[in-house]
């Protein structure tokens, strides 16, 4: 008879032993919760494509922010739906717009909560592209001054971290320069350095009313087939002064997260995007999967791949589950 000597199962024999040898841990401190703010007051409307996520007016966004902070989640990322749209997206830097108002109100009510401002123009432009158009082409260099205005307006409203998601070349350097010029020296930049042109953003674009009115975003977001190019984007954004590097989406790109983590010494963030969220919620609703188990397993996989920060719509549920 074969004599079995090597028994990895010994390290799985009980929860006590498993907990001693567990390599990856998931914590509420890893999470950033995205908020969608809209004009008006007393608005809390569930987003159809994203069950359990809401369009919130500023007053309700503040209430959710209190709850998030009480749960121990360190940060929120603020997205907005503006009152008006135009060719250049000027409501994106309007201090009276929902994002700037929400940032200021949350900072005042919950000063310990870290506020991340998403900087892009697609929610604010009439054409739904992430920058200024020249014909049908998104003009990179003409977009940079607009992004500078958005970043400064959010930082002046009270954002701690500016997160540009537009994918224009040179925007990290441009934003850093604009912040420094206003002496906003301690406002950091979390760059969506590696952002793929992904089908997984579908539910978000419904939620944020930000789908492009013609064409798509392949002329500025990355080709899903490319990994070397991701490393190039990361190197450029670090050289331009990014403080945190993000990879987005998360699940289909965990190989990229690992490669980035192994190459750089900056914190790495992943964005567990709307399509990833919607698929889990839909399957859970049908009783096809165990939502809690799937969510915690999925978020753990992002940590295991090397992420330090996870932006996720599951943050509130996961925080409650992690508490026991
Ligand atoms: C705006 C932006 C998008 C997301 C975050 N910021 C959509 C897009 O690029 O089309 C996607 C977030 C998600 O899907 O959860 N540029
Ligand atoms: Zn955009």
At 228-265, the pLDDT tens digits run 999 999 999 999 999 999 999 999 999 999 999 999 99
> pLDDT exceeding 90 applies to what percent of the chain?
97
**Which one is the CATH code of 24-195+202-323: 3.40.50.720, 3.40.190.80, 3.20.20.70, 3.90.180.10?**
3.20.20.70
Question: Does residue 242 contact residue 190 with C-beta atoms inside 8 Å?
Answer: yes
What digits encode the pLDDT tens for the residues 267-313?
999 999 999 999 999 999 999 999 999 999 999 999 999 999 999 99
Q: Which atom of ligand 1 is nearest to the CA of 272?
A: 15
Q: Quick one: tokens of 69?
A: 């902070």
* Residue 15: C-alpha distances to residues 20, 318, 321, 324 (Å): 9, 20, 17, 15
Closest ligand 1 atom to residue 211 Cα is 10
* Cα separation, 200 vs 192, whole angstroms: 15
- Residue matched to tokens 């206003």: 182
> How high is the pLDDT of residue 324?
77
Check residue 1 and give its pLDDT. Answer: 72
Q: Which residue CA neighbors atom 8 of ligand 1 most closely?
A: 201
Predicted local confidence at residue 274, as pLDDT: 98
Q: What is the pTM of this model?
A: 0.97
pLDDT, residue 2, reads 79
Could you confirm whether 195 is annotated as catalytic? Answer: yes
For ligand 2, the distance from its centroid to the CA atom of residue 119, given in whole angstroms, is 8
The closest ligand to the CA of 147 turns out to be: 2
Q: What pLDDT, on a 0 to 100 scale, did the predictor assign at position 262?
A: 98
Give the position, in ligand 1's atom list, of the atom nearest the Cα of 212.
10
CA 255/CA 251 separation, integer angstroms: 9
Ligand 1, pocket-test mutation among 117, 120, 129, 248, most atoms within 8 A of CB: 120
How distant is the alpha carbon of residue 153 from its chain centre? 19
Let me know: does 302 contact 257? Beta carbons within 8 Å: yes
Cα-to-centroid distance, 250 and ligand 2 (Å): 18
Q: Within the chain, which residues score under 70 in pLDDT?
A: none
Among 107, 132, 195, 303, the active-site one is 195
Q: How many Å apart are CA 322 and CA 315, to the nearest integer? A: 10
Active-site option among 85, 107, 132, 248: 248
CB-ligand 1 contact for 130 (6 Å cutoff): yes
* Tokens linked to 97: 């717009």
């Amino acid at each position: 008879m074969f004599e079995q000597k090597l028994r990895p199962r010994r390290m799985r024999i009980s929860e006590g032993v498993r907990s001693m040898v567990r390599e990856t841990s998931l914590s509420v401190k890893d999470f950033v919760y995205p908020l969608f703010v809209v004009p008006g007051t007393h608005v809390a409307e569930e987003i159809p494509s994203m069950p359990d996520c809401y369009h919130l007016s500023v007053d309700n966004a503040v209430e959710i922010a209190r709850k998030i902070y009480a749960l121990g989640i360190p940060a929120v990322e603020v997205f907005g739906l503006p009152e008006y749209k135009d060719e250049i997206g000027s409501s994106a830097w309007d201090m009276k717009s929902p994002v700037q108002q929400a940032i200021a109100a949350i900072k005042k009510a919950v000063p310990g909560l870290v506020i991340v401002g998403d900087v892009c123009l697609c929610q604010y432009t009439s054409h739904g592209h992430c920058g200024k158009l020249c014909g049908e082409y998104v003009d990179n260099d003409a977009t940079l001054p607009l992004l500078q205005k958005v970043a400064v307006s959010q930082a002046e409203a009270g954002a701690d971290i500016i997160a540009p998601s537009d994918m224009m070349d040179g925007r990290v350097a441009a934003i850093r320069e604009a912040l420094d010029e206003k002496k906003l020296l301690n406002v950091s930049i979390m760059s969506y350095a590696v952002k793929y042109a992904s089908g997984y953003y579908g539910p978000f674009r419904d939620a944020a009313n930000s789908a492009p009115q013609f064409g798509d975003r392949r002329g500025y977001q990355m080709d899903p087939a490319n990994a070397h190019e991701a490393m190039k984007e990361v190197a450029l954004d670090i050289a331009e002064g990014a403080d945190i590097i993000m990879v987005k989406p998360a699940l289909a790109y965990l190989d990229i997260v690992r490669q980035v983590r192994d190459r750089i010494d900056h914190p790495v963030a992943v964005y567990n995007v709307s399509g990833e969220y919607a698929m889990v919620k839909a399957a859970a609703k049908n009783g096809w999967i165990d939502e809690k188990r799937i969510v915690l397993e999925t978020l753990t996989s992002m940590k295991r791949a090397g992420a330090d920060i996870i932006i996720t719509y599951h943050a509130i549920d996961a925080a409650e589950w992690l508490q026991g």
